[in-house]
Amino acid sequence: DTSGVILTNAHVAQFLLLEGIAGEAHCYIRTGNPATPQYEAELLYISPAWIREHADLINEAAPKGTGERDYALLYVTSGIDNKPMPANFAALPFDVAPLAREVVGTEVFATGYPAEAMLEQGIDAPLVPKQATTTIGDIMTFGSQLVDLFTIRGSSIGEHGSSGGPIVDSEGKAIGIISTKGDDIEFGAGSLRGITLSYIDRTIKEETGFSLQQNLGGNLPYRAELFKKTIVPFLQNTLQQEL
């Protein structure tokens, strides 16, 4: 969002919950080509339901899951070395309208910074942005009978570390975020699965009482501090039992 809120996966953001449990936790936002640290961010929201179901994954080097409730919100708090913050951050528009079942075969664009090199070489490995054109290969539901999850066919984006990258439709709007690996045998090497923005919008409203769009605004430091004081201790306790 232009306010500096970033939508990503819970399995990415969960490590910020280790602040005070396993030392300090910092989140640096990189941009550019290759990506370089520009800003610091803090946790604004993470799905408590995901943490309860998947706390045991905190110890996994290559965690696996379905993508259900796998989302979190970060927000930019400051620039690195007092770098000035923009009045408005660059942001993708997004569409929370439910996807039609006929979406299978539709062309989409997957973008992001695949971080497989980082997993092999450490956090200083260069990250280069990639974009790939592919198509939706399959649609799935978590029981809602709506399109909650979809598979995109294999592409150059399909590496470890692409989690949280946007999947964009032909109108330039994000309709999903990459969450898990897909079935390479059925859909080609580098296949991925994305959870739909409509699913995130619907379930975050169940959890918070507010839509995704509403969760992007307001007094962000106050909201983050409130979440930190009221919900985070319970989530930390859940994770601590797994460490």
Q: Where are the beta strands (DSSP E) in 60-188?
A: 72-79, 107-112, 130-140, 149-152, 166-168, 174-181
Q: To the nearest 5 percent, what fractions of the chain are helix, strand and coil? A: 30, 25, 45
The packing angle between helices 220-230 and 232-240, to 10°, is 50
Spell out the per-residue pLDDT of the chain, length 243, in tens. Answer: 999 999 999 999 999 999 888 788 899 999 989 988 999 999 999 999 999 999 887 777 666 788 999 999 999 999 998 889 999 999 999 999 999 999 999 999 999 888 877 778 887 888 888 899 999 999 999 998 999 999 999 998 887 778 999 999 999 999 999 999 999 999 999 999 999 999 999 999 999 999 999 999 999 999 999 999 999 999 999 988 887
